[in-house]
Amino acid sequence: MGEFGLIQRHFAQLGPLASDIRLGVGDDCALLAPPSGCWQAISVDTSIAGRHFLADADPWAIGWRALAVALSDLAAMNAKPSGFTLALTLPEVEDCWLADFSAGLRSLSEKAGCPLIGGDTTRGPLSATVQVMGWCQPEHVWRRDGAQSGDLLVVTGSLGSARGGLQQMQAINTRQRGERWSWTPLMQAYMLPEPPYAVRDAWSSQPGVHAAIDVSDGLLADCRHLLEASGVGALIQDDSLPIEADLEILLGQNQAREAALSGGDDYVLLCAVAPDQLETLTRLWPATVVIGECTESLGIKLASGRSWIQEGFNHFL
């Protein structure tokens, strides 16, 4: 089967039909009709075998994850997904692998309301580049640079689990890596993250979210991006980070805290919110946890007084 048959079989009409799509896969370009008064948010993420995921992992999960990490950026901007493109590079055409990969992609695509509208398939070392597009209300955009001294820092889910899951995935054999139904909850947190679109839906029209970022590189690293863009500092209550019991059992208390601070791949939101809006936001999203506050003095301080070595993930360090 050639390139065109392959695309046709696995990627035609992947995801929900949406009213703003005038033309999907199959022409030189896809065509979108922007809803009136909206801005478009755009983000792109590349996932490479052996770096962002284990090459022998369940292809269903690889497909899910490639889209999840990109959707997380849309949520962090308060944008509603409208569609995505997929640039997929494959070493060879394996029909079963592709069927599973596209099924995982489709599953999240339907759940998040974000159809595939275009793409490119090429031959080479396995990687997937997903670009997501979404619409947002100009008056409700969550940028990184809006945090103010006195704002509370909140996260919308638990931290560090993905780091524990990665460790567990590395310790099992190829057969188990290929069977996602055998995975522990921590492995699922790493390979099948739920991007934070539900909390963004809950908060989309609320006032009081002054700045937001998704936690992908690690809490400290992403917190620093937000603080530097906003020109403030932070005091982090590192003894009250939301950590799953499973992770503490696996790593012990100290290492679990370290994973929560710098592990990465959490795909929850970190937001700077007005203190007087915390109650409303927590009512709308009960998993909200306050982890610190923004300060006038720059830099990040940990309330415990501990120091840390690694801040987050950097592809080229």
Residues 89-118 that bind a second copy (CB under 8 A): 89, 93, 117-118
- Binding residue for a second copy (CB under 8 A) from 134, 165, 263, 292? 134
Q: How many residues does the chain have?
A: 317
**Between 34 and 63, how does the x/- string for binding to a second copy read (CB under 8 A)?**
x-x-xxxxxxxxx-x-xxx-----------
Question: How many other C-beta atoms can be found within 10 angstroms of the C-beta atom of residue 187?
Answer: 24
| Closest CB 52 distance from a second copy, rounded Å | 7
Query: Residue 139's CB: how many other CB atoms inside 10 A?
Result: 8
* Nearest-approach distance from CB 48 to a second copy, in angstroms: 4
Q: Do residues 202 and 288 lie in contact, with contact meaning Cβ atoms separated by under 8 Å?
A: no
Closest CA to 96 of 58, 52, 46: 58
Contact call for residues 83 and 114 (beta carbons, < 8 A): yes
Q: Are 267 and 196 in contact (CB under 8 A)?
A: yes
Q: Which amino acid is at 303?
A: A
Nearer to a second copy, 51 or 283 (CB): 51
Q: Which residues contact 174 (CB under 8 A, 6 or more apart)?
A: 56
Question: Using the rule CB under 8 A, is 204 a contact of a second copy?
Answer: no
Q: Which residues bind a second copy (CB under 8 A)?
A: 1-4, 6, 22-23, 26-34, 36, 38-46, 48, 50-52, 73-74, 76-77, 79, 85-87, 89, 93, 117-125, 127, 129, 131, 133-134, 136, 138, 141, 143-145, 212-214, 229, 314-317
Binding residues for Mg(2+): 28, 43, 45, 73, 120, 214, 217
Binding residues for substrate: 52, 265, 313
